[in-house]
Structure 1
Amino acid sequence: MKNYKIILIAVGTMFTFMLMSLVGIQSARNKAIGLEEAVYTAESDIKVQEKRRVDLVYNLADSVQQYDKHESETLKELADGMGRGNQIEDVNTALAAVTYAYPELKSNENYKQLMNELAITENEIAQYRENYNQSVTAYNRYTRKFPSRIFLDWTGYEIRKFERLDYQAPSDAPQNLFEE
């Protein structure tokens, strides 16, 4: 009767040890999968922000260009109107007339807004790239450490090779935005 209890305890202990080992090994694989997905998500976030940048740059540049064209035409019309005989002797009177009679020109504000939006977008892209690099670092560190490296091999998990991004400007970065 006593041998029966000892055998039962030994079998129970071995079963518990095997179950805990199996859970530990599968946990290593699940963590690697989670880290891999974090890398893919970070990579996707970068692509979304780069698409936003392209859309934003072209839309804002077109908007600023159109407003600049309108403002230029307005100034030409003002100059032509003044040149046709609206001679004003007093400079202060002329400035007051222009201030009250003609529209406020704001293309410089549009340029400031464009530059601000571009700076914000570039900062966001830099932040997403840093997030990607942190995700790659965490994944690479985990898959190369002991014992997770061995456990991942045992489960047949295929370790991916991710490279950190460099911070050089891409060759397809928008340039010459206001050329016609």
Structure 2
Amino acid sequence: MDDNKKLDKENFMKSNLKKIGATTIVVASVGITGLFLTKSVENKAIGFEETIAASKASVNKEEKRRVDLFSNLVDSIESYNDYESSTMNKIVEARNQSKKGNIDSAAKELNVVVEKYPNLKSSENYKKAMMEFSVTENRLADYRDNYNDQVKKYNKYLRSFPSKQLLNFQGYEKVKYDYLEFKVDNADALNLFGNKDEK
């Protein structure tokens, strides 16, 4: 009988050890899976932040290019010798505005000069500078749109389930990004191709 009790006790111990082992494996698996899940959520948020930073850098690069190209545009107009000193003052003022980052007001100043001298529009330097300026404006608009899209995706990700809960649980510090706002006033649109009446 003692042998049967020993055998039953051993079987009971083996059974309990198997149950404990299985439970430990399940708990460890759940823990590891949870750890990977929370870290992957955090890594994705960090990836969004890096993408936003790269998008912002592209916007900044194009804004600098825009200022540089505007200076080239002013140079092409300065090289046109057929105008009076008051016009030269407007050109210098436009250059100063562009260096301060006020491209829109500088463009208005320069447009007054260009409209006054239609032959200037046919200058090769002016045409080339205007084409580059136009391309840069379009790229800048695309980069701004991309930046805003990335900020939108990041904000949506941070507010969605389970990302929000997991990031809050980890104490993740969210970065506040503002959307880039750029207003287009069609009333102030520049006529880049001359008057409609000109042929």
Fold match, TM over 0.5?
yes
Q: Does 1:61 align with 2:106?
A: no
Question: Which segments of 5 or more consecutive residues in structure 1 lack a partner in the other structure?
Answer: 74-104, 170-174, 176-180
Deviation at 1:111, TM superposition (A): 2.1
Q: CA deviation at 1:106?
A: 9.4
Shift of the alpha carbon at 1:56?
Answer: 1.4
How do 1:8-157 residues align onto structure 2 when only pairs under 5 Å count? 8-66=21-79, 68-69=80-81, 72=82, 108-157=123-172
What amino acid is the match of 2:52?
Answer: V
Is the 2:76–2:129 Cα contact (8 Å) retained in structure 1? no
Helix, strand or coil at the partner of 2:176: coil
CA drift of 1:59 comes to: 2.3
- Taking structure 1 as reference, are residues 115 and 59 closer, same or farther at Cα in structure 2, changes over 3 Å only? closer
Structure 2 SS opposite 1:159:
coil
Query: What is the CA distance between 1:155 and its match in structure 2?
Result: 1.3
Matched to 2:149, the amino acid is Q
The residue that corresponds to 1:4 in the other structure is 17
Q: Cα deviations across residues 94-113 of structure 1 (Å, max 9, x unaligned)? A: xxxxxxxxxxx995222222
Identify if the C-alpha distance between structure 1 residues 106 and 25 changes in structure 2 by more than 3 Å, giving closer, same or farther. Answer: closer
Q: For residues 72-91 of structure 1, what are the alpha-carbon distances to aligned partners after superposition, in whole Å with 9 as ceiling and x for unaligned? A: 49xxxxxxxxxxxxxxxxxx
Q: How far does residue 6 in structure 1 lie from its aligned partner after superposition?
A: 1.4
Moved over 4 A (4+): none
In structure 2, list runs of 5 or more residues that go unmatched. 1-13, 84-119, 185-189, 191-199
Is the contact between residue 39 and residue 132 of structure 1 (CA under 8 Å) also seen in structure 2?
A: yes
Aligned length: 136
Q: Output the CA distance in 1 between the equivalents of 2:176 and 2:44.
A: 16
Deviation at 1:137, TM superposition (A): 0.7
Shift of 1:151: 0.7
Return the alpha-carbon distance in structure 1 between the equivalents of residues 58 and 36 of structure 2.
32
Task: Tell me which of the two structures has the higher relative contact order, counting C-alpha pairs closer than 8 angstroms and 6 or more residues apart.
Answer: 1
* Contact 1:64–1:107 (8 Å) recurs in 2: no
State the distance in 2 between where 1:144 and 1:46 align: 26
TM-score by length of structure 2 reads 0.63
| 2:121 and 2:127 in contact (8 A); partners too | no
